[in-house]
């Protein structure tokens, strides 16, 4: 197995992103549709919003075996040259884009970048994982005690080691054995020399979809937007607790390796993580976010002159708020689309500019107006305060924040890069205290019931059997975060 040399792309603006929740990663796989690497690279490009730190691609060619490329930086900068594609021949391949969460201790090392590869008695296999394993520390300790040697700090590497210790007769069976020992959230694409495999955890916390390429080709992806970019037909979602095994000849076999449980899909995928042009649970993400804005306008009306989104994540909800309230919509804040990872060195002066490097106020629209700012969430509050200051500096008469999610008061342990609980503004302050802290005229969040209504649950949230994973809002974790509890974390029920 050969590896191309990594290119380090520093991100001097990472310090400006600490007030945003980041999805950990996106996964993509293709088989039976000709050269896989270009398709995987395009799919990862469409999933770039799910992970911008690094990416990796693994392919298999009958003559040259397994080959992979792993790079820091954006897909467009690292996987678009013909020189790279020439090192990745083969008609089956998988890929991964990432942010660092559990593996952040070694996050700047190329060995942390997925997919991970293992050579087994029946041949090699590569695995790419979206989610987080909440018992990874216990598993790692046990595996190291039994002689396993880890190459990374990523929780995902546990899967490869568990597969190596399985006595299953083939790769899919070994993966089933491994995943039965894993707790947490996992949407996985994997590959052998001749097969593409996709699997979701029994709760279906993270997304995974299946598409068809031509007559015999298939693709697996975190979101439908990645199927669109390669012209694949969206067939269906891989169901919670399902494993699909696809051959080069186009055969697709569905397995049910886990005990059936009531699904708990991540509701924040609807609010922020997924691209607005994707489909989740049969619903347009864009239409859902517009519905969130409408619901927010019903719950938290205000007299104002303009509704403005905090771009880009707040845009659909702001449109919905405007349509429901009758207050005109306007692009009062403009995003600089060309601030990237290879920007100038971050001097102290540049750091102090904060969000002004990425956002600028449209002064001609804002001056003298009472402005409703619609954003997807408030995490630590630092960005919200800076945006408020920019709006007031531009001459706004009043600033009203409307947030398209309930207060984020609990960290996520299922694959989202979340600050520690004490750093979450809503964990230590009431809504009124947050309003005073941010220095705005009013601050309202959509209610949890309102969010559920917006995503299609007409009766709101069922408190006895919640339909989604909403732990970041409620503190009710559908899978006990055992590693965190062992370190002293106290969940809401305690």
In the predicted model, is pLDDT for residue 334 greater than 60? yes
Mean pLDDT of 466-489: 95
3-state secondary structure of 314: coil
Query: What are 60-82's pLDDT values in tens digits?
Result: 999 999 999 999 999 999 998 99
Q: Work out the pLDDT band at 233, boundaries 50, 70, 90.
A: very high
The CA distances from residue 55 to 11, 13, 275, 298, 361, in Å, are 14, 19, 18, 42, 33
Greater model confidence, 371 or 492: 371
What's the sign of the alpha-carbon dihedral 385, 391, 397, 399? negative
Instruction: Determine the Cα–Cα distance for residues 390 and 366; give it in Å rounded to an integer.
Output: 10
Mean pLDDT of 17-32: 78
pLDDT in the model for residue 234: 98
- CATH number assigned to the domain covering 289-458: 3.40.50.2020
Q: Work out the pLDDT band at 354, boundaries 50, 70, 90.
A: low
Return the minimum-mean-pLDDT range out of 286-300, 459-473, 480-494.
480-494
Contacts of 17 (CB under 8 A, 6+ apart): none
Residues with a known catalytic role: 25
pLDDT in the model for residue 1: 41
Contact assessment for residue 141 and residue 184, using Cβ atoms and an 8 Å cutoff: no
Instruction: Determine the Cα–Cα distance for residues 56 and 114; give it in Å rounded to an integer.
Output: 6
pLDDT in the model for residue 232: 98
* Mean residue pLDDT across the chain: 90
What's the sign of the alpha-carbon dihedral 201, 159, 46, 408? positive
The CA distances from residue 242 to 16, 232, 314, 361, in Å, are 39, 21, 33, 47
Greater model confidence, 11 or 157: 157
Fold category of 2-263 in CATH: 3.60.20
Provide the token pair at 208. 């995974």
In the chain, where are the structural domains located?
2-263, 289-458
pLDDT in the model for residue 103: 40
Query: What are 267-281's pLDDT values in tens digits?
Result: 999 999 999 999 999
How many CB atoms lie under 10 A from the CB of residue 105?
Answer: 12
In the predicted model, is pLDDT for residue 21 greater than 70? no
């Amino acid at each position: 197995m050969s590896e191309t040399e990594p290119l380090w792309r520093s991100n001097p603006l990472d310090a400006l992103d600490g007030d945003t929740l980041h999805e950990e990663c996106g996964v993509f796989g293709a088989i039976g549709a000709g050269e896989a690497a270009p398709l995987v690279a395009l799919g990862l490009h469409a999933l770039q919003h799910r992970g911008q730190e690094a990416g990796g691609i693994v392919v298999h060619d009958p003559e040259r075996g397994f080959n992979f490329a792993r790079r820091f930086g954006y897909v467009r900068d690292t996987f678009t040259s013909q020189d790279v594609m020439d090192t990745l021949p083969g008609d089956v391949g998988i890929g991964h884009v990432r942010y660092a969460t559990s593996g952040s201790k070694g996050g700047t090392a190329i060995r942390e970048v997925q997919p991970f590869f293992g050579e087994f008695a029946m041949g090699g296999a590569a695995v790419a994982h979206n989610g987080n394993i909440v018992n990874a520390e216990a598993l790692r300790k046990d595996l190291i005690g039994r002689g396993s040697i880890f190459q990374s700090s990523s929780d995902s590497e546990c899967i490869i080691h568990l597969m190596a210790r399985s006595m299953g007769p083939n790769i899919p069976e070994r993966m089933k054995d491994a995943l039965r020992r894993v707790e947490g959230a996992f949407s996985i694409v994997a590959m052998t020399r001749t097969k593409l495999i996709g699997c979701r955890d029994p709760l279906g916390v993270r997304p995974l979809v299946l598409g068809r390429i031509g007559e015999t080709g298939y693709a697996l992806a975190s979101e439908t937007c990645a199927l669109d970019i390669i012209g694949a037909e969206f067939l269906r979602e891989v169901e919670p607790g399902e494993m699909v095994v696809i051959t080069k000849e186009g055969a697709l076999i569905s397995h049910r390796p886990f005990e059936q449980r009531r699904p708990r899909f991540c509701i924040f995928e609807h609010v922020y993580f997924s691209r607005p042009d994707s489909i989740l649970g049969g619903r347009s993400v864009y239409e859902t976010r517009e519905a969130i804005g409408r619901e927010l306008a019903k719950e938290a009306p205000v007299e104002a002159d303009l509704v403005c989104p905090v771009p880009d994540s707040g845009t659909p909800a702001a449109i919905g708020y405007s349509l429901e309230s009758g207050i005109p919509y306007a692009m009062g804040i403009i995003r600089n689309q060309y601030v990237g990872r290879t920007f100038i060195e971050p001097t102290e002066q540049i750091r102090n500019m904060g969000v002004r490097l990425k956002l600028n106020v449209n002064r001609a629209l804002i001056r003298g107006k009472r402005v409703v700012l619609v954003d997807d969430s408030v995490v630590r509050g630092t960005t919200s305060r800076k945006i408020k200051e920019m709006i007031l500096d531009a001459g706004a008469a009043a600033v009203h924040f409307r947030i398209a999610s309930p207060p984020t008061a609990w960290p996520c342990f299922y694959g989202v890069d979340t600050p520690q609980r004490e750093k979450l503004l809503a964990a230590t302050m009431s809504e009124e205290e947050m309003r005073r802290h941010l220095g705005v005229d009013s601050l309202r969040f959509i209610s949890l019931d309102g969010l559920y209504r917006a995503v299609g649950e007409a009766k709101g949230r069922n408190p006895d059997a919640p339909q989604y994973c909403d732990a970041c809002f409620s503190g009710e974790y559908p899978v006990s975060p055992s590693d965190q509890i062992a370190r002293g974390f106290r969940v809401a029920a305690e």
